[in-house]
Amino acid sequence: MLLRRLHLVLLCLPAFLRAAPEDYFGIRVVDEHTGRGVPLVTLETTNHIALTTDSAGWIAFNEPGLMNRAVYFSVRGPGYTMPKDGFGFTGVRLKPVAGKSEEVKVLRTNIAERLCRLTGQGIYRDSVLLGHEPPLPSPNLSADVMGLDSVQVVPWKGRYFWIFGDTLRPNYPLGNYHSTAAWSDAPDKGGLEPEQGIRFEYITDGNGAVAKMLPVEEPGAVWIFGMHSVMDTQGKEHLMAHYSRWKDLGKRLEHGLAEMNEASGRFRCIAALGDEFEWQHPQSNAVRVKGEEGEWIYFSTPFCRTRVKADYDSVQNTSAYEALAWSAEQGDYVWQKALAPTTQKDEEKLIAEKKMPAEKARMQVVDAQTGKPVRLHAGSVQWNKHRERWVMIAVQQEGGDSYLGEVWYAEARQIDGPWRKAVKIATHPKYSFYNPSHHAFFDQQDGRFIYFQGTYAETFSGNPVATPRYDYNQILYRLDLDDARLKAAWVE
């Protein structure tokens, strides 16, 4: 009996291995206005078989017992919807037939348009199963990257240089906790247009997996933030950043300055800092600003509250850093070196205690529609030529639909504010989308269209179910700054 069963298994195995595009039923979810495929939309059968669209909006379906008959799929996806039926269900009835395909249209309720997943396994999984040509050379697994946390990027050496945080690998969750790096090309130099994704060329170890970008012997996760490039007095360019090593999210073990060693292709620690240096170092997202006082590097958290002269010596000198702080003596904000930067929460307290006039506040952002306060957690600030304003993309802390998944847009005339009104541009109910970063080098039509990415993760969300393949990975959005729904946040 055992031999007979084994024989049956062996007979079935070749057919399974030879699964071809014509064996699948294709479902493509598209934006009803643009016709583009929508990633991260989940279709679920009445017995809870859940399938999520890939970066091109495709699902490859082949479920025994559910082919060649009517099947109802509920449809859900953050920021997208479709009409409810008479019983209040949101979904569609399809007849899966191998070799055929159907289109499902959804309505975008987000202002920002979700374009694609940038990292992780199976980015174009369903497209490949259905026989479609993906735009990435390794569409289903590259350099063993299953998940990537928090992005930093700078134009450097004629290309884009990317740094990510913790990295998941197939063989173990703690795959690389010493930062991961990659190169990519600009669209006009052989790279993809951003809506197709990014061809990351990961820096790898000798085994083809991502390499440790700041290797240290001591235990703990190593993170790199505030990455930027500066020139020394001899005209040589240096790639600089702040590093920190952590036991866990609540215990930092060390921190300091790091510099790219071009000979090894890795960062190296060049200066350890004491805990007393809380803000006198690079952090979060760096942005270069040239003005009457010279050239500066500002660090957005998401508000630009610290800065340093944009030269090699100043970046290494903790006493060169300046913080934006409220001065009771001057009755205004000042850039200075003695006090720590004033935070959004500090402002709230100063106003409540009548130590700061409300009109002097620079970080009291409110929802442009409701007037309710919006406490921002992280993000980036960039100059926008189209709006001729500084624009901020930031995630809200303790948002109504998610703890760290509500993304907002705001404008200011000056990089240090004041920031007044904001409009929500993307929502991720019961999920996180943290550390969003606007990549100004991707801007189109002088900045009318801007692109930002963030980390999509169930971390901090309270959601007990992680989205397969998408969780703990980078997702890219596009925003049209001429969208009339943003007008309430415009600064005239």
376 CB neighbour count, 10 Å cutoff: 21
User: Is residue 147 in a domain?
Assistant: no
DSSP 104: E
| Residue 241 Cα distances to 4, 69, 198, 380, 468, angstroms | 63, 57, 23, 16, 32
Note down the domain range covering 77. 22-112
Report the pLDDT value the prediction gives residue 293, as an integer from 0 to 100: 83
pLDDT in tens, 150-181: 999 999 999 999 999 999 999 988 789 999 99
Per residue in 448-468, is it b (16+ CB within 10 Å) or e — as a string? Answer: bbbbbbbbbbbbbbebeebbe
User: Is residue 394 in a domain?
Assistant: no
What's the rounded Cα separation, in Å, for the pair 224 and 202?
16
| Residue 33 Cα distances to 46, 53, 72, 105, 107, angstroms | 28, 18, 24, 9, 8
User: Is residue 485 in a domain?
Assistant: no
3 state SS of 113: strand
Report the pLDDT value the prediction gives residue 174, as an integer from 0 to 100: 78
CA angle 116, 442, 388 (to 5 degrees): 125
Amino acid at 265: G
User: Is residue 82 in a domain?
Assistant: yes
Report the pLDDT value the prediction gives residue 18, as an integer from 0 to 100: 57
Q: State which residues of the chain have pLDDT below 70.
A: 1-18
Looking up tokens 């106003």 gives 351
**DSSP secondary structure letters along 377-445:** EEEEEEEETTTTEEEEEEEESS-SS-SS--EEEEEESSTT----EEEEEE--TTSEEEEEEE-GGG-BG
8 Å CB contact between 432 and 460: yes
**DSSP secondary structure letters along 301-326:** SSSEEEEEESSHHHHH-GGG-EEEEE
Per the document, the length of the chain is 492
Tokens of 441: 């080098």
CA angle 116, 162, 203 (to 5 degrees): 105
User: Is residue 48 in a domain?
Assistant: yes
User: Is residue 425 in a domain?
Assistant: no
CA angle 249, 253, 256 (to 5 degrees): 105
Number of domains in the chain: 1
User: Is residue 396 in a domain?
Assistant: no
pLDDT in tens, 15-37: 445 579 999 999 999 999 999 99
107 CB neighbour count, 10 Å cutoff: 12
CATH of the domain at 91: 2.60.40.1120
Tokens of 341: 């930067």
User: Is residue 145 in a domain?
Assistant: no
Looking up tokens 């600009």 gives 186
pTM value is 0.94
Report the pLDDT value the prediction gives residue 173, as an integer from 0 to 100: 84
